[in-house]
Structure 1
């Protein structure tokens, strides 16, 4: 039976339909906003024997046909997921994952397909709402519903569900997801937005989320979905024993400044426990208790022991709740790259390198929107050795792509405008050591390396992660969380920004939401830590270097009248090829008239720029040009002062004295400096070499041709 609910949201209709498509799925909805439509299906499965984790899989795909487009390339079919698809899948996964029971290990898969895209309404938030709706009408024990909204900020006004065009000019791009009572997930990027304004934007979004949750409740009621009663699994028979007899030892083992020491001490306690009850070769006791149950009980007690220590005010490495780990910053550590930096915070370390390129090095991005070039990239690599492990290297995974994009979008707000710095910029963050919040370390190392490369960023950016341990109404916020605190804690709240405000924010939770009080306190605690990190960064390098690396290409740019692009290119590309070959440069022109010139040295670029400007600018009386003699007549020489633009230098204007013959002064192919002395009504240009000589105080001398040779003298 087809069921549909709808509501007006931000001036457009949002509708959710079920019962018509994919009726064999556990739950399926068609969610539409404007003319953007996403099909979301949820499917539950069984549990594999011995499985001790929740195998939730979320996929998101954009069919280019939804926007009336064909995929690019030879194969006219979508292939591996794009970066945007991976990021949206992660965005959908994060708020729904905490809402399943802790001991629920059945397979669950959520699949979102964009079926129609109107070019205005982004389908990513619809994927989150649709996933919640599909799970809510399925047989999964999902503690929903939840919803998500996008919030923009234009001219100081918060906007709900901004269009793609509005986001392009917004100083905030914030996606927030939550239930009717609390916030579950945040991902946002802003142009240095103060903490109080960011918190206000989150609360603004949450009010809309509450209405969308009510809409989903209406859908569940109309669909006749009955509430699911989930029965937890049996209590581990070893839990009470391990908790009462070994919790103290575990707490002692967990308190050490070093990650390796904590791990080794905890492992020793675990081995002692196993050896006591299960001698070598024994895996099952007479009463049926297994060694796997003992290991599971140990992990559970270990988990709660770490949490208890933190609530008691005892962090595992001995720091206070607001204390940063030791920070070390250094720049210029690699010789040939265009910029480099090493940022170390405790046992987390990022080695960043910068390479500068031309407009041709921009990454081409093809998707639902029109193809565009991406001038800034930040790639994040997380090798297994950084955590003392071995595993195959299969290319970047979802986590690496997600962390790289978080750092990239946090830094991009402070990059110079293309008019000021027309380079394509790529930053690579290699995590060489990891123990918590390597993505925020990447933000810091990126800032250092960009300044080392001479990129004139407007402000330095730093990032920090705040953790949370929450028991009932009691909670503790932890500045600069380590890997163990992330694993045993309830929250990983990453905040990046400058001294003026927030540029990037991301919240991941393992509990069913946090309230406004925790959010505001977290943002303030993160600000305090960020200011301290910024001081350390500016101690290493005070400001961007005054010049780029000598190994970087030199680039200049200018803006010409788009109608004159054809003049620069010339017939069959003749003009632009000649300029490039003669100056040793690379010239790129885009449709809006932006001309970018790259070369091995600034002098090459300046020469090419002068020639481009000479072509596009109107010939100006009084200006001096360096031209080439194109033909010689009895009465004077015709000189090409710009491609396709000739002027006549009369014989009387060739020198400051009497000239018997034009060939006494110049020949075809000679280069002469001439001054424009007149342009008549028919656009004919009159030139003077004599005027240039007079200005320079020189006497006339014959021009030297490239084919002159001393052997010709008599």
Structure 2
């Protein structure tokens, strides 16, 4: 404030000495994509970052920065880090909880970071080990356009305009839905609510690099069509990035790889045949032990007395790198020759075993084993109160089906610290969960909340797809009436060119590790429910995609045949240890009557029956209890309270008052009827109190409801019906 209490803006009257602004002006390019404007802008924000870009689609804005740093000493891998965050402020919302700021990444944020990382990583040159970090923040969310599919395109753009970063892009990513049979590019949030396909595809101008998709049993040919439809737009977005590079004046950075490893030729001569023999003998552990024995022998020979260097100055680190490359060459050569490590042909499954009902007290259990990969599945059934609540940019949602994946260290014969689930465990769990979800019955038919837990007790390739198979078995064992059984399989590839490649069904760990592709496909006999593609090369063609889907379907049908030999169909009854759920639909106008003043009525029903009641705004009442009798008792109370009183129906009521001419009986909370003295018994009744007193329970029948809605009851009619019934039984005996 200035003296005198007047406010002023500092510098309000000042002018620049130069006519030219000292700040660089932003550079933007845009293109019409999916009926909306897709815009890339750089040059104004985060000028100290290696590369930074604003991605705008509609009124959704995503900021992505890429940063380059020197390599860490001794590092033997490419340390790419990708982080994606959705701050609720972008949608004009506060974060929930006591702390009004975001915490650790949500599942959705982790999945988006993984989907962004996967197509970027193969496009960095081999031997490149500099630090690269990509950070993406949602700055604005319009409630229609999802920001997560924009992340990979933004990351690629930031890397393309980053100096000193030899990124072999550009790549881009698009999302595809299918509404009323029509493919939709970048579907809005509302459109996705009615879509039977949720597909994300990343690719370069030439080929597809990454696929992550889920569908409602979509046939293979239609899935392939959707993938190529998405890739057409990937090409357009790659061209848009080239436009921005040209406008900024950035040239691609070239990378000179390290000199040839001095041990490469030595190991080829000394160890190739030995490693080849070791890689084709025994099981996973035996093969690993034999390779380690060869490696240790060479170390002793080349580095006597535990020396760190040879006489020529070559190091152990160089030796380890060369030996790894030798292993990779051996495995790839074998596969290209059509020889798999365990002797199978390229399209053969490993031995499969399925078992159910292993655990006595859980609601459902299964053990699925495929080769040396094994998933122990447990299924728990709960009520709507057990649903997972998720808050995000598009509002709060509830999940009634969950599949959680755990990958303990003993499953691969290792020891490591036990911590919370990592990004890989979260990603694999969601892949399996969304692959199974399309066959989960609607809440109207099966109102339970369902949680599946996949414990990977042994692993040698594609444990996420083993989790899909185990989930199907566990759900059927739990009595969940799934629409179709689901199975999943992983297809690998060793590729020399688009014309020379070998597809491998049910890949093992080494085939995944040293191969070029991990293409997971889950589905039913009708079609695909889940699909995920990871590549270590710079893309695959449309023909490879189609061939893979055909080979995966053949394996999936075989898997389903073996799985169904353990349990043919869902059990007719759920476990006796699971809660019993009943549902009834009442008139929404009677919700207040059911709840009562201050919740008095509904609490009374819960206390007397031992059940719990959940009431939804549309009038759906879900009753949960530990046993069927309690659930039925609560249901009867709800029906009696909310249904219209029906003539001829028998109720168990409570005497609320006594008069000379009869007893008033409460047959439902707030609903009384008169049982006249003449209707209290089939004999003469002198005094009403001879038959009942206030508080007594009476079984009475509604014999009339007059125009004023007054209810007339009869105990005598009930006694006569019961007497007739007993007499009939006696005669039959």
Give the match for residue 334 of structure 2: 309
Give the match for residue 672 of structure 1: 698
Give the match for residue 75 of structure 1: 99
Give the match for residue 248 of structure 2: 223
Give the match for residue 641 of structure 1: 667
The reply to whether residue 431 of structure 1 matches residue 456 of structure 2 is yes
Give, in angstroms, the shift of residue 698 of structure 1: 5.9
Give the match for residue 730 of structure 2: none
Give, in angstroms, the shift of residue 153 of structure 1: 1.4
2:167 match: secondary structure: coil
1:240 match: secondary structure: helix
What 5-or-longer segments of structure 2 have no aligned partner?
1-24, 727-733
1:280 match: secondary structure: helix
Alignment of 1:538-553 (within 5 A): 538-553=564-579
Give the match for residue 167 of structure 2: 142
Contact kept in structure 1, 2:216 and 2:528, CA below 8 Å: yes
Q: 1:293 to 1:246 in 2, by over 3 A?
A: same
Structure 1 distance, partners of 2:429, 2:320, is 35
Alignment of 1:548-559 (within 5 A): 548-559=574-585
Give the match for residue 7 of structure 1: 31
Structure 1 distance, partners of 2:622, 2:247, is 60
Structure 2 distance, partners of 1:7, 1:661, is 91
Give, in angstroms, the shift of residue 699 of structure 1: 11
Q: 1:518 to 1:660 in 2, by over 3 A?
A: same
Structure 2 distance, partners of 1:285, 1:693, is 104
Give the match for residue 705 of structure 1: none
Contact kept in structure 1, 2:346 and 2:504, CA below 8 Å: yes
1:666 match: secondary structure: coil
Alignment of 1:86-105 (within 5 A): 86-105=110-129
The reply to whether residue 200 of structure 1 matches residue 234 of structure 2 is no
Give the match for residue 636 of structure 2: 610
Give the match for residue 474 of structure 2: 449
Contact kept in structure 2, 1:149 and 1:177, CA below 8 Å: yes
- The count of residues paired between Structure 1 and Structure 2 equals 700
Structure 1 distance, partners of 2:585, 2:439, is 23
1:81 match: secondary structure: coil
Contact kept in structure 2, 1:257 and 1:318, CA below 8 Å: no
The reply to whether residue 188 of structure 1 matches residue 213 of structure 2 is yes
Give, in angstroms, the shift of residue 82 of structure 1: 0.9
Deviation >4 Å, runs of 4+: none
Give the match for residue 429 of structure 2: 404
Contact kept in structure 2, 1:656 and 1:699, CA below 8 Å: no
The reply to whether residue 395 of structure 1 matches residue 395 of structure 2 is no
Deviations 1:213-242 (A, max 9, x none): 111111111111122121111111121222
2:130 match: secondary structure: coil
Contact kept in structure 2, 1:255 and 1:315, CA below 8 Å: yes
Deviations 1:244-296 (A, max 9, x none): 33222221111124011111111111122222222123222232222221221
Stretch moving more, 558-567 or 310-319: 558-567
Alignment of 1:454-533 (within 5 A): 454-472=479-497, 473-533=499-559
Deviations 1:169-207 (A, max 9, x none): 211111111111111111111111111111111011111
Deviations 1:374-395 (A, max 9, x none): 1111110000000000000011
Structure 2 distance, partners of 1:498, 1:622, is 50
Give, in angstroms, the shift of residue 546 of structure 1: 1.0
Deviations 1:28-78 (A, max 9, x none): 111111111111111111011221100000001110111111111111110
Structure 1 distance, partners of 2:142, 2:620, is 30
Give the match for residue 592 of structure 1: 618
1:539 match: secondary structure: coil
Stretch moving more, 475-484 or 556-565: 556-565
Contact kept in structure 2, 1:337 and 1:355, CA below 8 Å: yes
The reply to whether residue 131 of structure 1 matches residue 155 of structure 2 is yes
Structure 2 distance, partners of 1:334, 1:470, is 44
Give, in angstroms, the shift of residue 12 of structure 1: 1.6
Deviations 1:623-677 (A, max 9, x none): 2222111111112211111111112222222223332222122211122222222
1:697 match: secondary structure: helix
Structure 2 distance, partners of 1:590, 1:223, is 56
2:564 match: secondary structure: helix
Provide the aligned C-alpha RMSD in A: 1.4
The reply to whether residue 170 of structure 1 matches residue 187 of structure 2 is no
Structure 2 distance, partners of 1:500, 1:14, is 36
Structure 1 distance, partners of 2:376, 2:370, is 12
Give the match for residue 580 of structure 1: 606
Give the match for residue 273 of structure 1: 298
Q: What is the TM-score of this pair, normalised by structure 1?
A: 0.96
